[in-house]
A and B are shown apart, each in its own frame.
Chain A
């Protein structure tokens, strides 16, 4: 299971890097989504994958009984997903507003804050 997850993370990262190298900002964003999922899976796999029950404490006990899954990475991944989702929503809105004002999603043409490549000043 770990090996399979590792391969999935690798493929996701490779696809993400490929997409992020594009000049099109939307492709970059999709790459970012994949990369964020790769990071989340990394955390999840780091918590060791066990064939256990959910980490629930039965009523009247102090600790879970038997082998249970590691709950911490799940909490971390959940937090990371929520944060990532918020940031992505913001970035999409930003990209849309940028497209509306600058009439382009090509990063080579988005040169309003910095001088253009060919111009010296």
Chain B
């Protein structure tokens, strides 16, 4: 049983090792691609097992919970692992076109696969300290990926990204220490009981706030997001796409896990704070985006505003809201990674990402324009694309709670998202190129273009499929939300499983 859980983590790690050894040869990139395909297979096997048996858990080295390290997959973890593998595969294909050989020789693919392993590990672990370790694996890989390839702007962005993320990690680590001091356990399932029975509930709430700040920095919520727009527009497009798709979502996932499984003693206090944090996150993100004129900077600010919807799903803390949050999480990873991919190809064609210096893409690359429209309007929440259902569930949950203001802000932010997306559309695709030439797809060799447009088309197709056939996805999200609201299955599976 534990093999099913270990494989999605082990495959990218082994791929990283082999890809590192082959980094100076063209074979390196194909090894990375093959590894990503294998990861997808491994995660599909895990998903099949979870769909078949419900929550599954495995004890590493046969140390029974709560003493050993537990890997556990419920619906939410399983779907996150699958979506990570999909994003990883899309990025591995995209990187074939974008990443230059000298960057490959620095070990790009090894770092990239390590990042995927770290993200997957964070989704699958059932042990709090182990979660910290996966965060670090993910961070060190992301630090290197952010600055790889050099340049002043990348180093500048890297320094800010590294500094703020390290501070958040230390707050998280201190929180783990204190929580261990109170409960005497690190196993998250065991901790649920121990936290509920703790004498000093005030201290628990303080620790909960430390976790909220620590994960909040990673998730880029309202007062803690400044590292994100400072850094996400500088690295390679493949990298910013995978960062935009996955890294902040790990923070959201960790928040969802801890604030449904462990910190549920004082929901009126902790989740109320989260509601206001979410509302402010949505609003500041979208307003920040309105002020930008760079393709990737606009998208970066939109990550922040969209994170608000996901944390709102958690903060409202009803089955419907959590269901919306889970649905949103999955939809957003696909859409956001895709938009960054489009930005990369737009730069390839038109020569820049500053919207004032590009244009005419609709005329010369109608296919790219069509492929931009799909994720862009999905992001804004147009029916029948995936974003519509995601927003619909969240807003409906807010209205059911009579949280009219929250529902109003969610809808307003959707409207302002359209403003930013039409700005990109108008300036990058519609208006003529300011330098008077037609951006032509032949600027890049056809091999490069093919590698870059394939993942864009595939992810856009997924957006459409989720949009037109939301039923199975919504049902899945419903079960995932049920498991989050009532983690009895999770707890009994982890604590009662025989290795």
Residue of A39, A73, A113 most packed against chain B (CB within 10 A): A113
- Beta-carbon contact of A97 and B181 below 8 Å: no
Within 8 A of B (CB), among A52-78: 72-73, 76
B135 to chain A, nearest CB (A): 10
State whether the Cβ of B486 lies closer than 8 Å to any Cβ in chain A: no
B264 to chain A, nearest CB (A): 22
State whether the Cβ of A83 lies closer than 8 Å to any Cβ in chain B: yes
* A46 touching B152 in the complex, CB below 8 Å, given contacts A94-B159, A113-B157: no
Chain A residues within 8 Å of B156, by CB: 98, 102, 110-114
Q: CB within 8 A of A20: which of B157, B159, B167, B173?
A: B167
State whether the Cβ of A80 lies closer than 8 Å to any Cβ in chain B: yes
* A87 touching B136 in the complex, CB below 8 Å, given contacts A32-B170, A102-B155, A102-B156: yes
State whether the Cβ of A79 lies closer than 8 Å to any Cβ in chain B: yes
* A98 touching B159 in the complex, CB below 8 Å, given contacts A39-B173, A83-B133, A90-B140: yes
Within 8 A of A (CB), among B423-451: none
B225 to chain A, nearest CB (A): 14
- Beta-carbon contact of A113 and B160 below 8 Å: yes
Query: What's the Cα separation between A78 and B229 when bound, in Å?
Result: 34
Q: CB within 8 A of A94: which of B139, B158, B181?
A: B158
Q: CB within 8 A of B129: which of A76, A101, A121?
A: A76
A88 to chain B, nearest CB (A): 9
Name which residue of chain B comes closest to A38, CB basis: B174
- Beta-carbon contact of B181 and A45 below 8 Å: yes
- Beta-carbon contact of B176 and A43 below 8 Å: yes
Residue of B158, B174, B178 most packed against chain A (CB within 10 A): B174
Chain A residues within 8 Å of B163, by CB: 25, 28, 32, 91
Chain B residues within 8 Å of A95, by CB: 159
Chain B, interface size category, equals 35 or more
> Which one of B75-83, B87-95, B230-238, B282-290 contacts A?
B230-238
Chain B residues within 8 Å of A38, by CB: 174
Q: CB within 8 A of A102: which of B152, B170, B176?
A: B152
Query: What's the Cα separation between A83 and B160 when bound, in Å?
Result: 19
Chain A residues within 8 Å of B150, by CB: 101
* A39 touching B181 in the complex, CB below 8 Å, given contacts A83-B136, A94-B162: no
Chain A residues within 8 Å of B147, by CB: 94, 97
Name which residue of chain B comes closest to A43, CB basis: B177
Contact with A along B246-260 (1 / 0, CB 8 A): 000000000000000
A100 to chain B, nearest CB (A): 9
Chain A residues within 8 Å of B162, by CB: 90-91, 94
Query: What's the Cα separation between A36 and B177 when bound, in Å?
Result: 12
Within 8 A of A (CB), among B126-176: 129, 132-133, 136, 139-140, 143-144, 147, 150, 152-160, 162-163, 166-167, 170, 173-174, 176
- Beta-carbon contact of B233 and A113 below 8 Å: yes
Name which residue of chain B comes closest to A31, CB basis: B167
Chain B residues within 8 Å of A10, by CB: none
- Beta-carbon contact of B230 and A113 below 8 Å: yes
Contact with B along A32-45 (1 / 0, CB 8 A): 10011011101111
Contact with B along A88-121 (1 / 0, CB 8 A): 0011001101100110000100111110000001
* A73 touching B159 in the complex, CB below 8 Å, given contacts A90-B140, A114-B230: no
Name which residue of chain A comes closest to B293, CB basis: A121
B145 to chain A, nearest CB (A): 12
- Beta-carbon contact of B177 and A112 below 8 Å: no
Q: CB within 8 A of A42: which of B133, B174, B182?
A: B174
- Beta-carbon contact of A113 and B153 below 8 Å: yes
- Beta-carbon contact of A98 and B181 below 8 Å: no
Query: What's the Cα separation between A95 and B159 when bound, in Å?
Result: 7
Q: CB within 8 A of B180: which of A20, A39, A46?
A: A46
Within 8 A of B (CB), among A9-38: 20, 25, 28, 32, 35-36, 38
Name which residue of chain B comes closest to A111, CB basis: B156
B353 to chain A, nearest CB (A): 13
Chain B residues within 8 Å of A73, by CB: 177, 180
B186 to chain A, nearest CB (A): 8
Query: What's the Cα separation between A110 and B357 when bound, in Å?
Result: 25
A51 to chain B, nearest CB (A): 18
- Beta-carbon contact of B155 and A43 below 8 Å: no
Query: What's the Cα separation between A95 and B143 when bound, in Å?
Result: 12
Query: What's the Cα separation between A94 and B146 when bound, in Å?
Result: 11
28 residue pairs A–B, Cβ–Cβ below 8 Å:
A32-B163, A32-B166, A32-B167, A39-B177, A42-B177, A43-B173, A43-B177, A46-B182, A47-B180, A72-B186, A73-B177, A73-B180, A80-B173, A83-B133, A83-B136, A86-B140, A90-B143, A90-B162, A94-B158, A95-B159, A98-B156, A98-B159, A102-B152, A107-B160, A110-B156, A110-B159, A113-B160, A113-B233
> Which 6 pairs from chain A and chain B are nearest by CB?
A46-B181, A43-B177, A113-B157, A42-B177, A112-B156, A112-B152
**Chain A residues packing against B (C-beta within 8 Å):** 20, 25, 28, 32, 35-36, 38-40, 42-48, 72-73, 76, 79-80, 83, 86-87, 90-91, 94-95, 97-98, 101-102, 107, 110-114, 121
Extra pairs beyond A20-B167, A25-B159, A72-B180 (4, CB < 8 Å): A25-B163, A94-B159, A112-B156, A114-B229
